[in-house]
Structure 1
Amino acid sequence: MNFALFYRISLVIIALSGLLVPDPTLTAKGPHPKTPIYPRVAVCCAAKLPNRFGTSNALPKLVNDLSKAPSVKHHAGMVWISPGTYRMGGDNAQASADEFPKHKVSVKGFYIDVTEVTNAQFKQFVKATGYVTTAEQKPDWNILKKQLPPGTPKPAADVLVAASLVFVPAKGPVDINNYAQWWAWSKGADWKHPHGPKSNILGKDNFPVVHVSYFDALAYCKWAGKRLPTEAEWEWAARGGLKDNVYPWGNESVNIGKAKANIWEGDFPYKNVQKDKFYYAAPVKSFAPNAYGLYDMAGNVWEWCSDFYDNNYYASVNKPEGISNPQGPAKSHDPDEPYAIKHTVRGGSFLCNDSYCSGYRVARRMKTSEDSGMEHLGFRCVSDK
């Protein structure tokens, strides 16, 4: 769930209709300085919601008891990624500023999940622990308001409800900077109801779990005796041993040849020709793996990483000798959302398209707030040897 983000979008929509003066923190600095801009719902510039559990390292007591973790071989369903050195960062003209400079990085070896965490796996976790996800909880306004511009009015009680953001396709061409046109704040949307309260996950055990916040992902990882990958680990694994290639499979465009990933094919966000056979998320392992045997490192759902997001981080670690096992910046920094604390997400989703975000590139960095959970956001785990 990302109530802070949705609420800010609502304020901008009201402002556009002349009912409110636009929030100055949402004003573009381009040729039209008085034009409000929309926060990026699609895991691009999400505002931060508070950690309901206190601090980033504090998780519910129920996940401290690892005796309830799965009674299977610890590294089952994972593959070993050997240590190595590579150049981390953008590889083509689609790369954004925060993907540069390309810099030398060395990582230790680690195990990583072959697939994104599935509904079946998350269901086992919830059954064993009684865990309640962020999207299933009512937001606390006293904490929430600290993440919004000073003076932001409190919303009506019927808005402060357990909910999450679901994708609703536009009816025709829209300004893709207006993210409110394809996202809807849906009461009752959560991991068990991915498209809203009337949906369910029956028969979808092998689909990636979605609507999970950063804290939900951490809780699952702790229960399973694992952790979230760092950005450097994720990109090293996604590259599959290929040097300076754009995608997990090489350099051939995602739009050429056979379907390589679950993405948006056609005119975003209203027409998807479904060459890949899927409109929403696909079952894991629906497409060919990369050379390391990892599935869906491009498309399907975005994946949480452990790093804070800082748009200038790569410049700060760009040294001739390189950097070993980077853990990310000490704190979050996103000039687009000065009130937000964000973590990086990687890999793209079924909503990614070259006209929009090209999130399926291995170097593509996105960012979202810790409490965000959306219909195209999941995770996979890693583990040390």
Structure 2
Amino acid sequence: ACRAGTTTAWSFGNFEDFDRLGHEYMFVSDGRQGKHDRPSRVGLKKPNAFGLYDMHGNVWEYVADWWHRFTYKNSPINDPTGPPEQSEKGDMRRVIRTGSFDWGRWGAQSVYRMRIGQRSTQHPHQGFRVAMRPTGVQGIAAAVEPHEQRRKSKVDPGPQKVDTSAADKNPRELTLDLPGKIKMEFVLIRPGSFLMGSSEGFGDEAPVHRTVISTPFYMAKYEVTTAQWAAIMGKDDRFKFWESMKGENDDASGPRKAMRDVSWDECHGFVTALQKKVATSLRGTKHPLTKRVGYKFALPTEAQWEYACRAGSTTEFHFGNDAAALDQYAWFAGNMLWPGGGRTFPDGTPVKGVHYHDVGLKKPNGFGLYDMHGGVWEWCADYYDKDYYVNSPLKDPTGPESGRFRALRGGSWFRYAKYCRSAYRRFFYPASNGDGVTAYISDFGCRVVINLDGDSARRGAPDPKVSNSKEAPKDSARPTVKPVAQSEDRPQRAVNYTKLARSLVRYDDNPVIRVGGRGAWDEQTLGCFTVLDDGELFYFYSGGTQFGKPKNIGMATSKDGIHWTKHEKNPLFPGSMPYAIKVGDTFRLYHPGKNDAGRHGLQMRRSKDGSNWSKPNLVLAGGILDPCVLRVAENRFHLYYCGGGQRMKDGKQVWEFKAHMATSEDGISWKKTPKPALPLGPEGSWDSQSHAGPCVLKLEDGFHMWYLGSGDYKDKLAWRIGHATSPDGLNWAKSGSDPVLGIGRAGAWDGGTLMSFDIIYRDGEFLFWYAAAPTEHGDETKMTIQIGHGTSRN
């Protein structure tokens, strides 16, 4: 239960991972946590992959077994219960596990055992945990949250003995000759077993589970290149578009560039055509493939892909855990040459467009495969299911029987290191016109496998029953069925951001950040907040309230935006309504306040690590609420905020706030614009009374603003979320007459009012968070405000 499928020192990683992750998963007196003199409240750290909290540290936990130092020497394989009697000395000692708050990291390892007298009460660090043994029932599911449900099978069966005799009969490498003197090289992947998935990544990567690849297969040494694609499918309008960009994108259609902009259906059509072409060309030859009873070209299954990528490793990347070394093995966002900023090629030529690199320039993995990390996303044969690993078969899993999406692996030149990990899973629509959403993205490609013998064919192999596949014509130079063309003047990646922005869906298991316990700095509310994504972590900053005390600002961090760890030194400092950005390697936090002279306005703090902050400086005087700071260019910043107060309407005082704006060259010296950034709605509309909490993103098609709106004069806190667009960030127009996010159902935690909102765009979707309360009570000091999460719906 502690290991949760892992083989590492702790359920979250090994010793090299402790300084980075230890404080997130366990409460011990070591590393960044310092020395503790008492245990922590349970459940404050992150759970393991089985959804269990505090399995490392906090208090030692009694287990049922007697202590004996030679227990493991003769331990049975099935359900061991420890020695039948006391220790060899007869001193009635029991076993305790997990380490404790006043011990170091080593005592909290999954494997560590300590003995203690069963009647001992002299130590304040001993506790226990309860287990239940159901009888007469098979396959009991773990009693955890639905999104944390874990594998129902028993423990890892360990490395499996696999017959490798079939692999021994095949050459280590294989080369195919395609039309036009183009070659395709393959590497033999021998059968074996490995640990698939990750307990440290995103939810769909867990649980870590043993997987067996029972038969050998060949995998292409490189991602499919443009030359290989053209040799089988012919050239279409995409090639014309790329060729028109020569000089801008370093010959984007060069013969050794990875083929990209392709849907799953198109890749499936490619392997179908490749199968026919190779079968015809090899007929009557002595090529090694002709000696096989059967062979099938296919897209790899997710299991084949990860097995081949890991090449025997259990680390985040096939070369280890150090993302800093990824530059040696992959083209990814950290080393791609992007236009602008004075970037040049080695010969001094300015970079005018994205520089696409040839395949095979970086180091290979242990199996001799290139670009398994980065390059282009690689389509897999499987349908995608985020919970598939829970019941995945031990032997040769091929994914769900059906689904809406197909899986991709490997990351790309456009993505950060964490998306290039061996275990990371992505999904997208398979068809070229999938539900109105463009299915091929500029960094989507594929890699081919050859499954040996008929019984080893995977679902990614050609199947005539698949109606969407693109069959290649007999004359590959003149295809009769072309993939969807891409005109010369059309952008490579067309995303309807407004449609996505208006298609927001709540997460099922909200709230994701809850108020603290009794006496905590945030025991009552988590109010106005901000979320910063720096590519590696999500940083959450919020104003929090303890009953009867002023507001303070605290923080939390997360890898996935769902599971958060509050900072151990919360609260950080007095204040509320924070907004965070990162300029270079420096964090900036803006929030309302007053300086030592008592002057009110917008204050700014700086930090190098996001948790230790400088004293504030006043950067803009006046009534500044709900700030949102956006860096739109090298020397241009936009500030969006709300301001206003009470006014008379129909003989009554009503609250009226509006969204305003200021500009700056450095984010420090600001100049306010003369008029509100966005007009209120017409009389009777949902946002006719006030606007607040503006949140702005700059995307490819312009600027997008989400804002709180209120049209209920009887209750100033009846807020909902609206959306507007602007070509320049100055002149705004609402994208619709209705809010994009309303309150939750009656009685729900968010069924009363929304209070704050923040959003980011990542990997083709919006991720958003919102603060909400269960009641519409006008007095915020009597409300419980917590944080929910959601995404856009494609």
Q: TM-score, normalised by structure 1?
A: 0.55
The alpha-carbon distance between structure 1 residues 328 and 272, as it changes in their structure 2 partners (threshold 3 A), is farther
Structure 1 residue 126: Cα displacement? 2.3
Give the drift of 1:122.
Answer: 0.6
- Structure 1 residue 229: deviation in Å? 0.4
**Structure 2 vs 1, CA of residues 77 and 274 (structure 1 numbering), >3 Å: closer, same or farther?**
farther
Q: Secondary structure at the match of 2:271?
A: helix
The answer for the alignment partner of 1:368 in structure 2 is 428
Q: Could you tell me how far 1:250 is from its partner in structure 2?
A: 2.1
Contact 1:104 1:323 in 2 (8 A): yes
* Pair 1:380-2:450 in alignment: no
Name the counterpart of 1:230.
301
Residue 773 of structure 2: aligned partner: none
Q: Give the alignment of 1:21-32 within 5 angstroms.
A: none
In 2, the alpha carbon distance for the partners of 1:235 and 1:325 equals 12
Structure 1 residue 251 displacement after superposition: 2.2
> Would the alpha carbon gap of residues 271 and 197 (structure 1) be closer, same or farther in structure 2, given more than 3 Å must change?
closer
Residues 283-298 of structure 1 correspond to what in structure 2 (within 5 A)? 283-298=358-373
d(CA) in 1 for partners of 2:450, 2:374: 23
The answer as to 2:399 corresponding to 1:328 is: yes
Q: Tell me if the contact between 2:196 and 2:208 (Cα under 8 Å) persists in the aligned partners.
A: yes
Question: Structure 1 or 2: larger strand share?
Answer: 2
1:112 and 2:181 are equivalent in the alignment: no
The match for 1:338 is none
Cα distance in 2 for residues equivalent to 1:72 and 1:239? 34
Indicate the SS of the match to 2:212.
strand
Distance in 2 of aligned mates of 1:88 and 1:99? 8
SS at match of 2:269: helix
Q: CA deviation at 1:260?
A: 2.6
Task: Report the CA distance shift for 1:257/1:78 in structure 2 as closer, same or farther (over 3 A).
Answer: closer
Distance in 1 (CA, whole Å) between partners of 2:405 and 2:269 is: 17
Q: How does 1:268-283 map to 2 (within 5 A)?
A: 279-283=354-358
State the SS of the aligned residue for 1:304. strand
Provide closer, same or farther for how the CA distance between residues 273 and 113 of structure 1 changes in structure 2, counting only shifts above 3 A: farther
Larger Rg over CA atoms: 2
Query: Any idea what the Cα deviations from partners look like across 1:58-82, whole Å, max 9, x if unmatched?
Result: xxxxxxxxxxx93699x95000000
Residue matched to 1:346: 409
Q: Counterpart in 1 of 2:185?
A: 77
Find the counterpart in structure 2 of residue 98 from structure 1: 204
Q: Given the two structures, how large is their TM-score scaled by the length of structure 2?
A: 0.28
Decide which of 371, 376, 391 is 1:316's aligned counterpart: 391
Matched, 1:86 2:194: yes
Q: How does 1:1-385 map to 2 (within 5 A)?
A: 70=178, 77-90=185-198, 93=200, 95-107=201-213, 108-127=215-234, 190=238, 192-194=240-242, 201=251, 204-225=254-275, 226-242=297-313, 244-253=314-323, 255-256=324-325, 259-265=328-334, 279-317=354-392, 323-332=394-403, 341-354=404-417, 358-371=418-431, 372-385=439-452
AA partner of residue 440 (structure 2): G
Please tell me whether the aligned partners of residues 106 and 324 of structure 1 are also in contact (alpha carbons under 8 angstroms): yes
Once the 2 structures are TM-superposed, how far is the Cα of residue 282 of structure 1 from its aligned partner? 1.6
3-state SS of paired residue (1:116):
coil
1:232 partner letter? A
Partner amino acid, structure 2, of 1:251: N
- Supply the distance in 1 between the matched residues of 2:414 and 2:210 (Cα, whole angstroms): 31
Matched-pair identity in %: 29
Question: Structure 1 residue 266: deviation in Å?
Answer: 7.9
SS of structure 2 residue aligned to 1:364: coil
Return 5+ residue gaps in structure 1 as ranges: 1-68, 137-189, 333-340
CA offset at residue 275 of structure 1?
12
Q: Distance in 2 between matches of 1:116 and 1:312?
A: 28
Q: Which amino acid aligns with 2:241?
A: H
Is the 2:378–2:447 Cα contact (8 Å) retained in structure 1?
yes
CA contact (8 A) 2:243 2:252 kept: no
> Which of structure 1's runs of 4+ aligned residues deviate more than 2 A?
69-73, 190-203, 255-260, 269-281
Q: Which amino acid aligns with 1:297?
A: M
CA distance, structure 1, for counterparts of residue 343 and residue 328 of structure 2: 10
Does the 8 A contact of 1:262 with 1:276 survive in 2?
Answer: no
- AA paired with 1:290? N
CA distance in 1, matches of 2:184, 2:369: 14
CA distance in 2, matches of 1:310, 1:76: 31
SS, match of residue 261 in structure 1: coil
Which structure dedicates a bigger proportion of its chain to helix? 1
Structure 1 pair 276/113, CA: closer, same or farther in 2 (3 Å)? farther
Cα separation, 1, equivalents of 2:443 and 2:401: 27
Bigger RCO of structures 1 and 2 (CA < 8 A, at least 6 apart): 1
Offset of residue 350 of structure 1: 0.6
Q: 1:195 to 1:264 in 2, by over 3 A?
A: farther
Q: Contact 1:195 / 1:375 at 8 angstroms: preserved in 2?
A: no
User: What is the identity, as a one-letter code, of the residue corresponding to 1:260?
Assistant: Y
C-alpha distance in 1, partners of 2:318/2:243? 29
Q: Aligned partners of 1:311, 1:272: CA distance in 2, in Å?
A: 39
Q: Which runs of 5+ in 2 are unaligned?
A: 1-176, 276-296, 432-438, 453-794
CA contact (8 A) 2:327 2:334 kept: no
Q: Give the Cα–Cα distance (whole angstroms) in 2 for the partners of residues 287 and 245 of structure 1.
A: 19
Q: How many residues of Structure 1 are paired with residues of Structure 2 in the alignment?
A: 239
1:353 Cα shift?
Answer: 1.1
Specify the code of the residue in structure 1 equivalent to 2:447: R
Specify the code of the residue in structure 2 equivalent to 1:230. T
Quick one: structure 1 residues 115 and 276, their matched pair in 2 at CA, closer, same or farther if it must change by over 3 Å?
farther
Rate the CA distance shift 1:99–1:192 in 2: closer, same or farther, 3 A.
Answer: farther
Query: Counterpart amino acid of 1:345?
Result: L
Question: How far does residue 346 in structure 1 lie from its aligned partner after superposition?
Answer: 0.4
After superposition, the Cα gap between the structure-2 partners of 1:193 and 1:258, relative to the gap in structure 1 and judged at 3 Å, is same
Q: Sort the Cα spacing of 1:99 and 1:83 in 2 relative to 1 into closer, same or farther, 3 A.
A: same
Matched-pair contact (CA < 8 Å) for 2:194–2:210: yes
Question: Could you report, residue by residue, the CA deviation over 1:278-312 in whole angstroms, capped at 9, with x for unpaired residues?
Answer: 95432000100001110000001000000001111
SS in 2 for 1:229: coil
Residues 204-233 of structure 1: CA deviation (Å, up to 9, x unaligned): 100001111111111111111211000000
Question: Structure 1 CA distance, aligned partners of 2:334 and 2:228?
Answer: 29
Question: Residues 197 and 313 from structure 1, CA distance in 2 versus in 1: closer, same or farther, beyond 3 angstroms?
Answer: same
Write the letter of the residue equivalent to 2:420.
Y
Q: Kindly state the Cα deviation for residue 248 of structure 1 after the two structures are TM-superposed.
A: 2.0
